[in-house]
Structure 1
């Protein structure tokens, strides 16, 4: 079967026909295996399309409820769990992390604030005391972060915490609530919103996963796994070097979902924090989170980022359309989600093949361009 014959299914409002056409062109290019794209406007779905294949052999069609690894798109959901606690009064942005996580307050971190942690300004990109390959050993990375001294004075260096951001947020939530971040996100975000995205999968969700396909030459992947001089390699030491992102252990650890699920989460954010009467996050907290924390060259990837408290803002490395107040998060190899609050629009795209890109890339970019052509 030719690449152009890859099946496409789902719904598309006639006004958004350019998005379907862009998806068809992407599939015909042969660079996709399987993917999904979703758009919501005013909380209503206008695009919910999926295409291609769940498996490497291209024999199993992508289905409505297929999910896959969405990489660092999930960092914004880790942040959202913390921000939800801020809105509930359980955590304060300018309080020391050690108020909630006492063992964190060693090695010069006693005054490091929740705000700095959420804004990728904690100076903790490396978990040096976590042994190589130890990611799936309970508590090992958290203890390493407790013992880790900041690489520089907190707040002084813009640094995307590529590996450590999820475990920092997860342990803060656990210490503040006594619950895992998986349970908090499932019970207070995914389930109320009916959003098919989870921070770690349960047994019943495993069979929904598409094969995830690495692509050698992807810049971040090369830094993580092969370039021993890269700070990414040092940061990702706890990841087993043979991990292909299809293991049960990885699926229990990392964020997986589909475009529809992430578009529903971001639809709530595009509307100020609420969808269909359910408040995901306090509007005032969200407004503060999407303001600029820093704008400059990232230490970890040497790319120009514009960062808020857990959300990226539009910039050269995160091209997300013309909305000046848009915010969201990309993932390694192509997945992306964002909210455009001025148009009350949310967008998400997720492929199961990693693309060798270091920015939004041509495939997601074509879909985003088509969305904005559709709305004028």
Structure 2
């Protein structure tokens, strides 16, 4: 049975409002006035209660959380506001920048092409993208690219701020010489992974990453997550709120000695992740959409009779490729092919075989294949944390308390 989540319902005891740093130090809205809507199966009522507590604490602005079991939605909730001033309520189809959660969806497109026989994991990337052979990369295989082992965290030939200039980043990546011999260094490709995957998809399929994902994944699944937005989707976006002090953000924009700063040099330094250009470039969606995609993966790659990814390729992609300290962030990671696996830095839920991807500031999506369950969380305020943060963690713990 699904129970509507109405904003008129009282929040749990102990949810007193606190000072909100996002709103310039003013007290957060009273708990009973914070919008909270959607549906939640009665079995998962604890998730709704935790979401209400999260919102009442005052640091969250707006977000959505979704859970599926056996491909069926059991939690589909949204709460709070689309803007920092807390004047525009979050709505059912509000979307936001889910940050690096989208890396797994870029990887999924490549993996789907592997399952379709278009791409071979052990073939050189240059077989599909001939210009990629420059800089000693002629034999670099697709497998290493998907495993964050290509040695290509930088695109040094792309000038500062050039991200939105057509062709510049692609040419820079094609010309880049690996920073070290491919396969020898664990390095999360924080900036370059999406464009590397996008170019591989474009050259192998003849379609842009946006179009391939739209045609092959988003539309067949009815999933509200897209790799770059069309103009008609832009008004659906919540305002994204940067938070100074977020470790990765500081490295990307302010700490000039950080490898993240060098990696992200093509991003305009004044980009706040709300420009039309950024929204056309990056992945955006909501928890419902991401949970739908991961629902298919939680059930072996197929949902409602539609094969998103072959079971064999999924099995290979979610096996550990490496475990160890990441060069870029100096944190311990566990990586598959485009998916993160449970490890010290990111719990990825509570299942031993879970896989998924977090995003800077707290967004996350993952599949739990043993429970045939998916989870996704999409906030519009960046939490100043180096892991997934307290809000998603509390929701995940509530989900597992309900299923276990």
Shorter-normalised TM range: over 0.9
Distance (Å, rounded) in 2 between the aligned partners of 1:362 and 1:293: 28
1:344 corresponding residue in structure 2: 372
Distance (Å, rounded) in 2 between the aligned partners of 1:154 and 1:321: 31
Gaps of 5+ in 1: none
SS in 2 for 1:249: helix
Distance (Å, rounded) in 2 between the aligned partners of 1:164 and 1:192: 28
Distance (Å, rounded) in 1 between the aligned partners of 2:119 and 2:72: 32
| Structure 1 position 193 matched with structure 2 position 206 | no
Residues 3, 27 of structure 1: 8 Å contact kept: no
SS in 2 for 1:312: coil
2:284 corresponding residue in structure 1: 256
2:21 corresponding residue in structure 1: none
Distance (Å, rounded) in 2 between the aligned partners of 1:205 and 1:346: 25
Q: How does 1:294-305 map to 2 (within 5 A)?
A: 294-305=322-333
1:370 corresponding residue in structure 2: 398
Distance (Å, rounded) in 1 between the aligned partners of 2:339 and 2:353: 12
Q: How does 1:108-187 map to 2 (within 5 A)?
A: 108-187=136-215
Larger radius of gyration: 2
Q: Note the C-alpha offset of 1:321.
A: 2.6
2:243 corresponding residue in structure 1: 215
1:51 corresponding residue in structure 2: 79
Distance (Å, rounded) in 2 between the aligned partners of 1:241 and 1:278: 42
| Structure 1 position 237 matched with structure 2 position 265 | yes
Distance (Å, rounded) in 1 between the aligned partners of 2:30 and 2:87: 12
SS in 1 for 2:395: helix
Q: What RMSD over aligned residues (CA atoms) do the two structures have, in Å?
A: 0.7
Gaps of 5+ in 2: 1-27
Distance (Å, rounded) in 2 between the aligned partners of 1:2 and 1:364: 21
Work out the number of aligned pairs and report it.
376
Q: Note the C-alpha offset of 1:360.
A: 1.7
1:333 corresponding residue in structure 2: 361
1:39 corresponding residue in structure 2: 67
Residues 100, 357 of structure 2: 8 Å contact kept: yes
Q: Note the C-alpha offset of 1:203.
A: 1.0
TM-score (norm 1): 0.99
2:124 corresponding residue in structure 1: 96
Distance (Å, rounded) in 2 between the aligned partners of 1:320 and 1:330: 8
Distance (Å, rounded) in 1 between the aligned partners of 2:92 and 2:163: 31
Q: Note the C-alpha offset of 1:3.
A: 5.1
Superposition misfits of 4+ residues, deviation over 4 angstroms: none
Higher relative contact order (CA closer than 8 Å, sequence separation 6+): 1
TM-score (norm 2): 0.92
User: Cα gap change, 1:129/1:165 in structure 2, threshold over 3 Å: closer, same or farther?
Assistant: same
SS in 2 for 1:313: coil
